[in-house]
Amino acid sequence: MKRAAMCLCSTALALTACSQADSASPSNQTDVARGYELTPMVEGLDIVWGAAFLPDGDLLVTEREGDLHLIDDWQLVPTPIENTPDVLAERQGGLLDIALDPDFEANRLIYLSYSKGTREANSTAIARARLSTDRTTLEDVTDIFVGEFKKSGGAHFGGRLGFMDDGTLLLTLGDGFSYRDDAQKLTNHLGTIVRINTDGSVPPDNPFVGIEQARPEIWSYGHRNVQGLAFDRANDVVYAHEHGPKGGDEINIIKPANNYGWPVISYGVNYDGTMVSNETHHEGMEQPIVKWVPSIAPAGMTFYTGDKHAELKGDLIVSALAGMQIRQVDLEDGKVAGENILIEGDERYRMIITGPDGEIYVSIDNPDGAIFRLDKVE
């Protein structure tokens, strides 16, 4: 397969100049002192959306069309794992993210997010399953969460999963594209991040438990389409990035009960150029710590804690679709100090994950897909 043409570019970007840097950075610019390249690890995959490392270092990956694959010692096992959920593989929908149970070594449980239903009536769901000991099939597959509100169409499912340190599970849900106003309502799950227990029950300390008509699973709301979650576990911080419309992609710090404003406030405009809102600030609504205008379409994110790349430690590493980039968001004492473009090429970058070996791995978002390792240029 064709290896992507990569820009080994790490031009520092001041946040106030993001739009100029995005439009002006030449695709062949190289900073050898801080240059990066992508080394192919596995080929023959089809739109990898999510990934999770097993305790032995092997990898489970989801393909959006519905297959779950095992990568054994960096060799793709060609036969998909059997008995995955029936997914709606429609536009942005399909088999999305994967997460291992915190006690996986004892119970072998995994969690899969996916789009469930028909084109006319669908939502985002979480299935829990047990990976067989020979790693060829899923057992005891059951839905533990199905989003409230059956939307139509194949857009804005969200779908990113992440475990909190207390063992509860977060899932992001998009606004359904045509239902943006519902992101401001607590009566459904559109445009929210939900928090549940691993059996699907609701943690009693969720912020909207006991509030009449509010969905008790909701952790935060006012989101457009969150597809990135990352955890600074040492400081108990949850980061999420979401797609804006035409411009206005964001990274936010997620806290329970917070309203992140969509569509009442936005730094973007509609795809036809008309205004989403005449406000970028509103009382009681949170401001992003990073915003991208024009859009880069952020698709994945990891908070880097490994030792392979000391210069990235403690920072957010973001993969982008439209921007065709991998970016470092430089954090100093929890504050954003700037950004660096690590890779800029001719591919859409989707999944990004830190491995147990301290390496960073990323997938390209196309049917002739692959997983790469981020390496420093020697």
The model's pLDDT over 232-269, given as tens digits with 9 standing for 90+, comes to 999 999 999 999 999 999 999 999 999 999 999 999 99
The percent of residues above 90 in pLDDT, for the chain, comes to 89
The model's pLDDT over 98-117, given as tens digits with 9 standing for 90+, comes to 999 999 999 999 999 999 99
Q: Which of these, 173, 139, 186, lies nearest to 242 by C-alpha position?
A: 173
Q: How far apart are alpha carbons 356 and 302 in whole angstroms?
A: 13
336 pLDDT exceeds 50?
A: yes
The HSE-up count of residue 324 (CA atoms within 13 Å, CB side) is 14
Choosing among 1.10.150.20, 2.120.10.30, 3.40.50.300, 3.40.50.1970, the CATH entry for 6-376 is 2.120.10.30
**Domain assignments of the chain as residue spans, ordered by start:** 6-376
361 pLDDT exceeds 60?
A: yes
Q: What are phi and psi of 318, to 5 degrees?
A: -120, 135
Q: How far apart are alpha carbons 321 and 298 in whole angstroms?
A: 6
Q: What is the pLDDT of residue 34?
A: 56
The model's pLDDT over 29-38, given as tens digits with 9 standing for 90+, comes to 323 235 899 9
Tokens for 356, please give them. 């147990």
The model's pLDDT over 269-297, given as tens digits with 9 standing for 90+, comes to 999 999 999 999 999 999 999 999 999 99
Quote the pTM value. 0.91
- The question of whether 156 is a catalytic residue gets the answer yes
Which strand ranges, in their side-by-side order, compose the sheet holding 122-131?
A: 95-100, 109-117, 122-131, 138-146
41 pLDDT exceeds 80?
A: yes
Tokens for 127, please give them. 């299935």
The model's pLDDT over 83-96, given as tens digits with 9 standing for 90+, comes to 999 999 999 999 99
CA distances (Å), origin 113, targets 1, 146, 226 = 29, 10, 13
Q: What is the pLDDT of residue 55?
A: 98
The model's pLDDT over 142-153, given as tens digits with 9 standing for 90+, comes to 999 999 999 999
Query: Among residues 156, 223, 241, 309, which one is catalytic?
Result: 156
Q: In whole numbers, what is the pLDDT of the chain averaged over residues? A: 92
Q: Are 292 and 247 in contact (CB under 8 A)?
A: yes
